Structure 1
Amino acid sequence: MSFAWAREYEPKTGLTKWLDEKLPLPRLVYNAVGAGYPVPRNLNYMWNFGVLAGFFLVLQIITGVILAMHYAANAEVAFATTEHIMRDVNWGWVMRYAHANGASFFFVVIYLHIFRGLFYSSYKAPREMIWLLGVVIFLLMMATAFMGYVLPWGQMSFWGAKVITGLFGAIPLVGEPLQIWLLGGYAPDNAALNRFFSLHFLLPFVIAGVVILHIWALHIPGSSNPTGVEVKSESDTVPFHPYYTAKDGFGLGLILIIFSIFVFYMPNALGHPDNYIEANPLSTPALIVPEWYFYPFYAILRAFTMDFILPAKLWGVIAMFSSILLWFFLPWLDRSPVRSGHYRPMFRKFFWFGLIPCMALLFYLGGRPAEEPYVMLSQLATAYYFLHFLVILPIISMVERPEPLHYSITEAVLGSDKKAVLGENAEPAV
């Protein structure tokens, strides 16, 4: 979307004029994140998480490249090289702890980013492509994180790889050959470690490419906002810089303080202690669990315990992947013309008292043993999860009576004063 009131980039010096003519990178940056990009004036701190996710992606790439210089993807020495990084490489412990905790923080801000999108219906037209690319990014993140979890070659690394790749064995006819093809053998070993390391190194750059497409798609319709009302005039917007660069900078500073506390004072709080034991194929851990950010989907996987037409294991695999893939269909499942949850009273109740507790419960259950009452609770939470998106959300969008919307973003911020809303300087006519 073009904004007639956006300030144009004007190179000042001979060098910048020459560069703008030959390779207009400064103009591109200015129009993407500078004063040339108008943004709704009412964005709250829930709109910070996209920038924070971008920061943690860059952090993961930088620390990952440094760690790769000292890591050997060989089952005989992988665990030893991880310890070598921690003990012998200058500042290696900082790089490894920043990378490990950076993955967790990356998922934290992405989950908050997703839930913000769900509440404010950021998946609706004209922003469907932004949402679809975001789901692709999330799937790539999950694949990258899983492969990275295998690389230290601790107990959880080995058994996590064995369990997760074993899921493909549940697919009829092609499951077992597919599992052998993924691992390069019948069990996780050198071939699997090399493949996972190569893909773990490559996929972050693929994610960065999709992020560029995500931002590109965002700049076509412009940013959404808490009211869900589209921009109507220049008074509805402010330049991205300096207003939101300052706001994002404050959010980044705050999360960096929390991140630093984890890296320097509690670096293993988000990991599993068994992963500091070298992988042993002959010793099965008492409880095999993935990293915490996979817990909801792991709980859904384990919720299926009975064979019905298909094996229970296959039902679990289908449900686990479907729980994310159904997000692709949200723009068409939710047919309400109103975007923001602030103006949808029925949607708001089911979101805060249905979906959020359900997801919190799945996060908890994914890290618990596969025994009662956790299995039964997983089944109930899984049933509600799919019910919410496939049944409740479409019905709400048809029967709900939304609250009245404001005429414009400015009216929502400053009230219904005509001069404030329309930007008029003259006194109202008598």
Structure 2
Amino acid sequence: MSFPWAQHYAPKHPLMQWVDSRLPLPRFVYNAIGGGYPVPRNLNYFWNFGILAGAALMIQIVTGVVLAMHYAANGAVAFDSVESIMRDVNAGWFLRYAHANGASMFLAVVYIHIFRGLYYGSYKAPREMVWLLGVVIFLLMMATAFMGYVLPWGQMSFWGAQVITGFFSAIPGVGETIRIWLLGGYAPDNAALNRFFSLHYLLPFVILGVIILHIWALHIPGSGNPTGVEVKAEQDTVPFHPYYTAKDGFGLGVFLIIFAALLFFAPNYLGHADNYIPANPLSTPAHIVPEWYFWPFYAILRAFTVDFIIPAKLWGVLAMFGSILLLFFLPWLDRSPVRSANFRPVYRTLFWMLVLDVLVLGFCGGAPAEPAYIIASQIAAAYYFLHFLVLVPIVSALERPRPLPNSITEAVLEGKSGSRMRETAVTGAPAAAE
């Protein structure tokens, strides 16, 4: 984002001038996160979660690299190597628990980040590419988390790999071939462990690269804001530093306190007891369940129980992947010119219904595969697709949004997100959120 009033980096020290003229890294950092990057003055704490996601990723990379020095990707010793990390490696318990719980914190932050984008219309023009890259990051995170869950080689790790890769066999013609290719054999074993370990180690660096593109794409149109109104003048913005570095610092402090509480007082709360039992191909757990952040998608997968034209198993696989892939099309499904749900009362109601629906899916995904939970999963899965494919397009075409504030400054001075602005305005078409 380039504004005529933005400050620009001008090094004063001869050494910094020499460095900046040959490698403009100081200038790049200043323009990206310093006083050279103006941001809307009305950002709330929901805009902290991008920074928190970046911090969580760095925790995962650092702890993962150290853990990889002690882990053995072999079915005969993988479980024992994890136990050895916990007992014999200096601070190994801390690294292992930080990595395992860091994954949960990372996904929790990203889920909030996604729902913030849905509420404030962060996927709308001109920020479509920011949203699309964000969905790519989410897919990469899910793949990385799944492969990481397999590595401890406990009962839930083994049977999770068996069940999830088994769904690929539902693809007509090539499904079984794909499954064998993924596993490197006919069942999870040494080949699968080596493949998953290699990819689990590699993908976080791929995620880091896509995050750089994500931030780059964001800096072209600039950050959105709770009103959805674009920056129009200098008084609408403040420098990112020190205003939002301080705000992000506070948010990071809260994040680390919650993370530390989970890490030191309840490190196994989000795990599964069966994963402390060595993998046994001859003993199937009574209730196979993935990590909590997969539960909504697992519920969608299990919601299909009747063969209709194609097998129910294939319907479940298509629906599970489709539930994520349809997010790619959201910028074109929602055609409303108004971004923020603060000014779209009908859409705001639908948003909170979607949040409730995803929570129901999550609950059902973590519950046993019993008739009551399956029926609830089917209803919730049907509403999930109805929301994005039917309700959002219809509401965006028919809804009459509330009038928008004339500027971010006007909204800030008058009230929260311009909620009380232009109350005396003549009823008419809302101002476009350009």
Residue in structure 1 matched with residue 188 of structure 2 by the alignment? 188
Residue in structure 2 matched with residue 403 of structure 1 by the alignment? 402
Structure 1 Cα separation of the partners of residues 366 and 301 of structure 2: 12
Residue in structure 1 matched with residue 307 of structure 2 by the alignment? 307
Number of residue pairs the alignment of both structures matches: 416
* SS of 1:238 mapped into structure 2: strand
Structure 1 residue 289 displacement after superposition: 0.5
Structure 1 residue 89 displacement after superposition: 0.2
Structure 1 residue 12 displacement after superposition: 1.7
Amino acid at match of 1:202: L
Structure 1 residue 364 displacement after superposition: 0.5
Structure 1 residue 2 displacement after superposition: 1.1
Structure 1 Cα separation of the partners of residues 11 and 277 of structure 2: 58
Residue in structure 1 matched with residue 424 of structure 2 by the alignment? none
Structure 2 Cα separation of the partners of residues 217 and 51 of structure 1: 16
1:115 aligns with 2:126: no
Amino acid at match of 1:246: A
Residue in structure 2 matched with residue 349 of structure 1 by the alignment? 349
* SS of 2:48 mapped into structure 1: helix
Structure 2 Cα separation of the partners of residues 150 and 356 of structure 1: 29
Alignment of 1:104-143 (within 5 A): 104-143=104-143
Residue in structure 2 matched with residue 420 of structure 1 by the alignment? none
Amino acid at match of 2:101: N
Structure 1 residue 316 displacement after superposition: 0.1
1:74 aligns with 2:82: no
Amino acid at match of 1:382: A
Structure 2 Cα separation of the partners of residues 142 and 289 of structure 1: 15
Structure 2 Cα separation of the partners of residues 188 and 164 of structure 1: 11
Residue in structure 1 matched with residue 387 of structure 2 by the alignment? 388
Alignment of 1:326-345 (within 5 A): 326-345=326-345
* SS of 2:371 mapped into structure 1: coil
* SS of 1:82 mapped into structure 2: helix
Deviations 1:125-167 (A, max 9, x none): 0000000000000000000000000000000000000000001
Structure 1 Cα separation of the partners of residues 172 and 278 of structure 2: 33
Structure 1 residue 351 displacement after superposition: 1.1
TM-score (norm 2): 0.95
Structure 1 residue 168 displacement after superposition: 0.5
TM-score (norm 1): 0.96
Runs of 4+ in 1 over 2 A off after TM superposition: none
Residue in structure 2 matched with residue 215 of structure 1 by the alignment? 215
Amino acid at match of 2:363: Y
Deviations 1:183-224 (A, max 9, x none): 000000000000000000000000000000000000000000
Alignment of 1:233-312 (within 5 A): 233-312=233-312
Structure 2 Cα separation of the partners of residues 350 and 218 of structure 1: 27
* SS of 1:275 mapped into structure 2: helix
Structure 2 Cα separation of the partners of residues 197 and 329 of structure 1: 32
* SS of 1:366 mapped into structure 2: helix
1:172 aligns with 2:172: yes
Structure 1 Cα separation of the partners of residues 286 and 147 of structure 2: 22
Structure 1 residue 305 displacement after superposition: 0.1
Structure 2 Cα separation of the partners of residues 13 and 267 of structure 1: 48
Structure 1 residue 358 displacement after superposition: 0.3
Structure 1 Cα separation of the partners of residues 108 and 181 of structure 2: 32
Structure 2 Cα separation of the partners of residues 350 and 334 of structure 1: 13
Residue in structure 2 matched with residue 366 of structure 1 by the alignment? 365
* SS of 1:398 mapped into structure 2: helix
Residue in structure 2 matched with residue 423 of structure 1 by the alignment? none
Structure 2 Cα separation of the partners of residues 152 and 327 of structure 1: 32
Structure 1 residue 52 displacement after superposition: 0.1
Structure 1 residue 356 displacement after superposition: 1.0
Structure 2 Cα separation of the partners of residues 32 and 282 of structure 1: 55
* SS of 1:404 mapped into structure 2: coil
Structure 2 Cα separation of the partners of residues 351 and 342 of structure 1: 11
Structure 1 Cα separation of the partners of residues 374 and 356 of structure 2: 17
Structure 2 Cα separation of the partners of residues 90 and 355 of structure 1: 45
Residue in structure 1 matched with residue 103 of structure 2 by the alignment? 103
Structure 1 residue 10 displacement after superposition: 1.3
Residue in structure 1 matched with residue 63 of structure 2 by the alignment? 63
Structure 1 Cα separation of the partners of residues 279 and 26 of structure 2: 50
Question: Structure 2 unaligned runs (5+)?
Answer: 415-419, 422-434
Amino acid at match of 1:221: P
Structure 1 residue 394 displacement after superposition: 0.3
Amino acid at match of 2:181: W
Question: Structure 1 unaligned runs (5+)?
Answer: 418-430
Deviations 1:7-44 (A, max 9, x none): 11011211110110010111111111111100000000
